[in-house]
Amino acid sequence: MQRRTFLKLAATASLAPAVSAAAETAPPLGKAEHCIFIWLGGGMAQIDTFDPKSLGDAKSKPKRPGSYYGSIETSVPGVRVCEHLSKVAPLVDRLTIVRTVNHRVIDEHAFATNLVHTGRTTSGNIAYPSIGSLVAHQRGAAAPGVPAYMLIGYPNASRGPGYLGAKHGFIYLVDTGAGPAGFTLPEFVPADRMHRRQQLLASLKHPATAGSLMADYEQAQAEAMRLAGPGFMKNFQLTTEPAELRTRYGGEFGQRCLLARRLVQAGVRFIEVSHNLNFINGTGWDTHNAGQLNQHILIQELDTALAALIADLEAQKLLDKTLVVVATEFGRPAAFDGGGGRGHQGTAFSLVLAGGGLRHCGAYGVTDELAKLPLDKPVSIPDFHATLHAALGINLAGEIYAGTRPVPITDGGQPIAALFA
């Protein structure tokens, strides 16, 4: 389509300069087909993971701000990560740690979680969709007959479809043992019993008039029955994977990542995987007070699963078409709280991108000596969202209609150009 310009009479001097920058360069478009969006609820401490700084001390008096753990070299010279990320370290050339993500929300998990999922603050006029719903809406499923958006974690409004409506919502399971809600047959209904039930149901159906709402529903029901059948449900049987591979992925969180890979292969477009195994350290990633003490176990679990996922995707030749994102609602300050843990920090934190055919550079952006403020290349949440959409080949210039109101894909975000070859 040709470029539209102002009506000449409207092109006043004050408006003219704004045209150039945005319109001249077309936003980059990536080729990723899938997205695995790993969510670290609670707020991963960037300074203890992907943006290490000099060591602090939570026990000295006064406490010395800084990293809780030592750091190690990675496969990208000059890029260091926490010592507990030793399995990811050799794979850092396959990823980019975006170290300068920032927003202004710190006091409330739900608010920040909503912001990072939707890329927008709430308005009261409209409920915005999550990134998963938006990608599902824009690109649909990658294969016929599978859902576009799945969630391994708890349902909440931030993960929901917002104004896009229920059909762009997720299908979820809370853990790999449970199976997806609505599609897993009750244990007392084996396949043959379900078959009998369906026959009974068929005897109750009267042919609905083609094109009627009832016919739509019947079609949806047929689709649901199919998804609940062995074809799709076999994806959830992790036991069919080699034992060695399963071990490599680690515990429940790793198994979720392995399931995500299987779902990618099945054609699911977007999978959100929650790392919410809070009992490991009591607080999950929300490492206030004593939650800090066993934070390394969380980090190691993430390390194991993430490294296994990247390697496995690569081995399966899926890495270039699968964008792996590690996201969290905010970071944590270098200083320690009264209980030796950490509070919240939104001014700078790290999110990670891996695979997806991006031109990875290990780390993008630099923060100050306490990982508190970006020193260069700050990345806003809309920018980060724009990067995800662009990587997934979604046209950022597009608009979606919420009723009669056009809503841009992101809130004015610009993708990180350096990641696009």
Partner 1 sequence: MNGLSVLIVLLGLAAAAPEPDSGAAGEPQNDSSPALKSEARTVARWTFESEPEPGVQTKITFDAGPRPPAYPGFAPDNRAAAFSNGATLLLADDGPDGQLRFAQGDSLTLEAWVRVGELKPGRYAYLIGKGRSGKRGLPEKNQNYALRLKGDAKGPRISFLFASQSASGKPGEWHRWTSTEGFQPGSAWHHVAVSYTFGKPESVRGYIDGREAPGAWDLGGATRRPPVADADDLLLASGNAGAQGNRFEGWLDEVAIRRGLVQPEELKARFAFVPPPPPVSREAVPHGQVLVQICENGLPTANVWPVEPPAATESYEQEAFGFFEMPQKYVDTGVRGDRANPLLLRAAAVVNLPAGKHRFLLRARGASRLFVDGQLLLRTNFPTGDDGGHGKVKPAEDYLDLGPDFRFAPAGEGESWCAFDVAAGEHFVILETLVGGLVGKSKRRPELGETVVALSTSGTDAWQLLSPGARHFPYTDRGWAAYAAERRQALDVLNSRARAVLREAHAPYWNRRRETARTYLAQTPEVPVPALPAGAPAQNAIDHFLAVRLAAAREQVAAVPADGVNFFQGVLPILETKCFACHRGSKVQGGLRLDSLAGARNGGEGYGPAVVPGHPESSSLLERVRSTDPDTVMPPKGELLTKEQIVLLERWIREGAHWPEFQLQRATVTPVCDDLAFLRRLALDTVGVVPSLEEIAAFQSDPPATRRASAVDRYLADPRWAEHWMGYWQDVLAENPNILNPTLNNTGPFRWWIHESLVDDKPMDLFVTELVRMRGSERFGGPAGFAVASQNDAPLATKGTIVSTAFLGIEMKCARCHDAPAHASKQADLFGLAALLAAAPVEVPKTSSVSLDKLSAGGRMPLIEVTLKPGSRVEPRWPFPELCDESLGAALAEDPQDTRDRLAALITAPQNARFAQVIANRIWQRLMGRGLVDPVDDWEHGRASHPELLGWLGRELVRSGYQAKTIARLVLNSHAYQRAADPALRETGPLFVAPAARRLSAEQVVDSLFVVTGKPFRVEEVNLDVDGRRDLKNSISLGRPTRCWMLASTSNERDRPSLALPRVQAVADVMQAFGWRGARQDAASVRDTAANALQPAILANGTMSIWLTRLSDDHAVTQLALQDQPVETLLERLFLRILTRKPTAQERAALVDYLRPGYASRRRDVRPSAASAATRGPKRYVSWSNHLDPESTVLRQQEEVAARRGDPPTERLAPAWRERLEDVVWALVNAPEFVFSP
**Identity of residue 246:** R
Beta-strand relationship, 322-327 and 349-355? antiparallel
To partner 1, the closest distance from the beta carbon of 351 in angstroms equals 16
To partner 1, the closest distance from the beta carbon of 233 in angstroms equals 11
Instruction: Verify binding: residue 182, partner 1, rule CB under 8 A.
Output: yes
To partner 1, the closest distance from the beta carbon of 283 in angstroms equals 6
How far apart CA 37 and CA 14 sit, in angstroms, is: 42
Query: How would DSSP label each residue in 105-145?
Result: --S-HHHHHHHHHHSS---SS-PPPPHHHHHHHHH--SSTT
Question: In this structure, are residues 103 and 380 in contact, taking their beta carbons and an 8 Å threshold?
Answer: yes
Q: How far is CA 414 from CA 6, 158, 278, 321, 395, in A?
A: 23, 22, 34, 21, 12
Question: In this structure, are residues 264 and 392 in contact, taking their beta carbons and an 8 Å threshold?
Answer: no
Task: Figure out which of the listed residues 57, 111, 296, 320 binds partner 1, where binding follows CB under 8 A.
Answer: 111
Binding mask 124-153 for partner 1 (x = CB under 8 A): xxxx-------------------x-----x
Stretch that binds partner 1, among 4-12, 27-35, 130-138, 301-309 (CB under 8 A): 4-12
Collapsing DSSP to helix, strand or coil, 182 comes out as coil
To partner 1, the closest distance from the beta carbon of 2 in angstroms equals 5
Instruction: Verify binding: residue 190, partner 1, rule CB under 8 A.
Output: no
Which residues between 16 and 35 bind partner 1 (CB under 8 A)? 18-19, 22-23
Instruction: Verify binding: residue 337, partner 1, rule CB under 8 A.
Output: no
Q: Which is nearer to partner 1, 5 or 247 (CB)?
A: 5
Count of residues touching partner 1 (by CB under 8 A)? 99
Task: Figure out which of the listed residues 100, 102, 114, 295 binds partner 1, where binding follows CB under 8 A.
Answer: 114
Stretch that binds partner 1, among 56-64, 203-211, 258-266, 312-320 (CB under 8 A): 203-211
* 293-296-302-303 Cα dihedral, nearest 10 degrees: 170
Phi-psi region of 46 (alpha: psi -120 to 50; beta: other; left: phi over 0): alpha
Its sign, for the CA torsion 128, 129, 131, 137, is negative
Instruction: Verify binding: residue 218, partner 1, rule CB under 8 A.
Output: yes
Task: Figure out which of the listed residues 25, 55, 90, 197 binds partner 1, where binding follows CB under 8 A.
Answer: 197
To partner 1, the closest distance from the beta carbon of 182 in angstroms equals 4
How far apart CA 28 and CA 394 sit, in angstroms, is: 10
Beta-strand relationship, 95-102 and 379-380? parallel
**DSSP structure class, residue 276:** -
**Identity of residue 367:** T
Q: How far is CA 19 from CA 14, 203, 307, in A?
A: 11, 63, 44
Task: Figure out which of the listed residues 72, 289, 314, 366 binds partner 1, where binding follows CB under 8 A.
Answer: 289
Instruction: Verify binding: residue 283, partner 1, rule CB under 8 A.
Output: yes
| CA atoms within a 13 Å half-sphere pointing along the CA-CB vector of 329 | 24
Return the closest-CA partner of residue 271 out of 145, 150, 159, 181: 150
Instruction: Verify binding: residue 297, partner 1, rule CB under 8 A.
Output: no
Instruction: Verify binding: residue 412, partner 1, rule CB under 8 A.
Output: yes
Q: Which is nearer to partner 1, 55 or 290 (CB)?
A: 290
Stretch that binds partner 1, among 79-87, 192-200, 297-305, 347-355 (CB under 8 A): 192-200
Binding mask 361-380 for partner 1 (x = CB under 8 A): --------------------
Stretch that binds partner 1, among 1-9, 47-55, 309-317, 364-372 (CB under 8 A): 1-9
Stretch that binds partner 1, among 12-20, 51-59, 76-84, 88-96 (CB under 8 A): 12-20
Instruction: Verify binding: residue 60, partner 1, rule CB under 8 A.
Output: no
**DSSP structure class, residue 80:** E
